[in-house]
Structure 1
Amino acid sequence: MKNNLKHIASVLAARLQKIDYERLPISDYNKRYIRNLKPAIGYFMQIYTECLFKGITATGLNPSDITCIDYGGGSGFLSILAKEAGIGQVIYIDLNPDSVVTVQLLKQITGSGPDIILRGSSDTLSEWCSTQHTKPHLLIATDLIEHIYNLETFFSDLISINSSMQMIFTTASTPYNPYVKWKLHRAMRGCETGTLESPNYYTKRYQYIKEKFPAFSEKEVSQWSNRTRGLVYPDIEKAILGNTIPTLTDRYNTCDPETGNWTERILPIVNYQALLSQFHYQLKVEKGFYNTERKSFILSAIFKNINHIIRNSGKPGFLLSPFIILHCSKK
């Protein structure tokens, strides 16, 4: 089955490469997103293939009997691959309305894509599945879990859909690889200081606190702006009124106080395990791999060797892995 999935993914990658996305009536955001993704589309198809294979195998069902959720589906490439691979029903959901428009258009162009297209978050998905009496067997989300503001609410919504649903997440916010962590910490600093986000997150918190608590001195406003790093506006107010200081598992972690979108949040694996155990779920953590489709033969050879080391070096391989795969299943 895996070889068949690889072949389907390879053919689909070639088809998607030929589309002139710049001419499509889609948002600049989505054009930019696909422009960045397009050179490595074969690599992303390999990741999607790996996730689909793991998910299909874990359900124990034939692909045609599976209902799969492509959560935070973005461009919809995973949804298209899932349908091409014979998945019975594919549900796509994304919070960004521009991404929803993009996947609808790509479905028309390719003649393949998700059966159901939703816009919203986990509560939207939970409500839709309840109303439609649908119990999906599998959920796949790539580069998403590190951005979710409240993971407890998130998992609660998902598991309410089907208490034995297989869930597979990929995240580049690995707590193992020191180089990856260094890069992510630099991005987090940029969001706080303004070199990456404008207005920066510290300034947003500062302005909110200054307006909400006019009796505060400049020193108090500054102190609470630092203390409430990683909180959205309503939670900032609660923290100040309750005089509670939140604890960050990684002191660099930060989120947009307006939206709650974390900047590639890094969480220890034990945190994920503790969250999932509340819902009687277990976690299996697996190693990711590098893109070997490089223009340079030498670079391709180097990354093939690194992938070989990652695969065959046991736990130390996590120190080299560029991302990790979180496979969540019922205990």
Structure 2
Amino acid sequence: MNNSEVLIDKAIHGLSKKIRLLDCEDLLISDYNKRYLKEYKDNLDFFMPLYKTLLKKVIQNLQKPISESSFVDYGGGCGILTFLAVELGFKRVIYNDIYEVSTEDVKVISSAIGLKVDDFITGDIEQFINTIKSNNIKIDHICSFDVLEHIYNLEDWFKKIKEIQRPFSLCFMTSANSSNPYINYKLKKIHRQAEFMGSKRKKGWKERDSNLPFLKIREKIISENFKNINTEKINLLAKNTRGLFGEDILQEVAYQLKTSDFRSIEKHPTNTCDPLTGNWAEHIIDLKPLKNSIKDINTTVKFTNSFYSYSNNKILNFPKKIINFGMQVLGKENLFLSPSYTLEIQFKDK
């Protein structure tokens, strides 16, 4: 075991101990983050190996020692990755999330477990970059867990992130690995559920998310903004604007009505996003064009796989060992068998 693994194991052990001592129901936080925090607490043996894999990649991509580096948890949710970064001893740890409720909740959790987070930034990529620039914050690494598949416009996001002072690195891990046939099947089921059936609201529901079928929401948006078109055309335009949200829906509808060029915007057969927020339902991302849109002479990009973690269940561990061996043979950039993948980027000095 190398030194970085020792440090990560120590951080995981320290945070796990603190989380186990938490009474989630007593915390003055939203039901949404109580639900997520309890899920982590009840399944630490499942989640922590995933974070270990991610953090090993983070450390490999750092250009400076951890004690001299700043760390951003982008789209941090209930803050687990943020707290691991604090436990690891990063010089400066920055938490970000688009959802203000989560930002305020993580402040409470931070105080409860006694781990100080240096900065909190609420907002999307524009607010994040503006805050970084206006406060002259030097970023060394940006990290996330299950966020990449929810970003509305990835090409635009990566154009904006390049505005940050270089050099810095990025590791985004996601379990939405459509290169794995079984995961691809499950992702498409999630898409169809969100698009045509919606979701039942329950305790711990994220108030920012829509629970009605996305198709029905787009139909409502179109009918309210374009009064002189019939129901048949509204239905057609709602289908054609799958994968768009907000003003983009209205602009595309206006264009199709003006040109009579009625065609579906989203080429993938099931991908869909929340029409009110732009949050994708587990976006199946075409990785090759994304890679080509990011990389340049000063930017290296790769997608790497992850091994299955083991448990006390010897029966389940046996096939995992076989699959993990297969991934070793195929190489770290082969995603076919992987439970997840990580987008790793080095933004070098120009």
- TM-score, length-normalised on structure 2? 0.88
1:145-185 deviation digits (Å, cap 9, x = unpaired):
11011113322332212243201101122131011011010
The 8 Å contact of residues 10 and 42 in structure 1, kept in 2 or not, is answered as: no
| Superposition map of 1:125-164 within 5 A | 125-164=128-167
The farther-off stretch of 109-118 and 307-316 is 307-316
Greater shift after overlay, 259-268 or 246-255?
246-255
- State the Cα distance separating 1:293 from its structure 2 match: 2.7
Structure 1 position 101 matched with structure 2 position 104: yes
* Paired position in structure 1 for 2:191: 188
**How far apart are the structure 1 equivalents of 2:334 and 2:319?**
15
**Counterpart check, 1:250 vs 2:268:** yes
Runs of 5+ consecutive residues of structure 1 not aligned to the other structure: none
Find out whether 1:207 has 2:210 as its counterpart.
no
What does residue range 1-16 of structure 1 map to in structure 2 within 5 Å? Answer: 1-4=3-6, 5-16=8-19
Paired residue secondary structure (2:110): helix
| Conservation of the 8 A alpha-carbon contact between 2:71 and 2:142 | yes
Code of the aligned partner of 1:266:
I
User: Is 1:172 equivalent to 2:175 in the alignment?
Assistant: yes
Pair 1:323 & 2:340 matched: yes
2:230 alignment partner in structure 1: 217
Task: Please tell me whether the aligned partners of residues 192 and 200 of structure 1 are also in contact (alpha carbons under 8 angstroms).
Answer: yes
Q: Secondary structure at the match of 2:193?
A: helix
1:72 matched to 2:89: no
Contact 1:13 1:42 in 2 (8 A): no
Shift of 1:123: 1.2
Shift of 1:115: 0.9
Q: TM-score, normalised by structure 1?
A: 0.92
Equivalents in 2 of 1:20, 1:291: separation in Å? 27
Percent sequence identity over aligned pairs: 29
Is the Cα contact below 8 Å between 2:5 and 2:56 reproduced in 1? no
Pairwise CA RMSD: 2.1
Alignment match, 2:301: 283
- Kept in 2, the 8 Å contact 1:97–1:119? The answer is yes
* Equivalent in 280, 290, 294 of residue 272 of structure 1: 290
Assess, with a 3 A threshold, how the Cα gap between structure 1 residues 324 and 137 changes in structure 2: closer, same or farther.
same
The higher-RCO structure (CA 8 Å, 6+ apart) is 2
Amino acid at match of 1:103: V
Q: Provide the secondary structure at the position in 2 that maps to 1:241.
A: helix
Tell me the number of residue pairs that the alignment of Structure 1 and Structure 2 aligns. Answer: 330
Query: Displacement, 1:276?
Result: 0.5
Structure 1 residues 290, 164: CA separation in 2 closer, same or farther (over 3 Å shift)? same
Distance apart, 1:260 and its partner CA: 0.4
Report the alpha carbon displacement of residue 280 of structure 1 after superposing the two structures with TM. 4.7
Matched residue, 1:238: 251
Paired residues of 2:27 and 2:109 also in contact (CA < 8 A) = no
CA contact (8 A) 1:12 1:81 kept: yes
Pick from 276, 281, 290: which aligns with 1:263? 281
The residue that corresponds to 1:90 in the other structure is 93
Letter paired with 2:300: Q
Gapped regions of structure 2 (runs ≥ 5)? 201-210
The answer as to whether partners of 1:76 and 1:113 remain within 8 angstroms in 2 is no
Once residues 279 and 151 of structure 1 are traced to their aligned partners in structure 2, the CA distance between those partners, rounded to angstroms, is: 20
User: 1:73, 1:308 → 2: CA distance?
Assistant: 32
TM-superposed CA distance for 1:315, in Å, is 6.9
Partner Cα distance (2:154, 2:296) in 1:
12
- Give the stretch that moved more between structures: 257-266 or 230-239: 230-239
Question: 2: CA distance between counterparts of 1:101 and 1:302?
Answer: 42
Deviation at 1:283, TM superposition (A): 1.4
Determine which of 195, 217, 242 is the counterpart of 1:229.
242
Q: Which moved more, 1:316-325 or 1:147-156?
A: 316-325
1:307 paired to 2:320: no
Partner amino acid, structure 2, of 1:310: M
- Cα pair 1:283 1:329 within 8 Å, conserved: yes
Give 1:319's aligned amino acid: F
Q: Report the more deviating stretch, 250-259 or 147-156.
A: 147-156
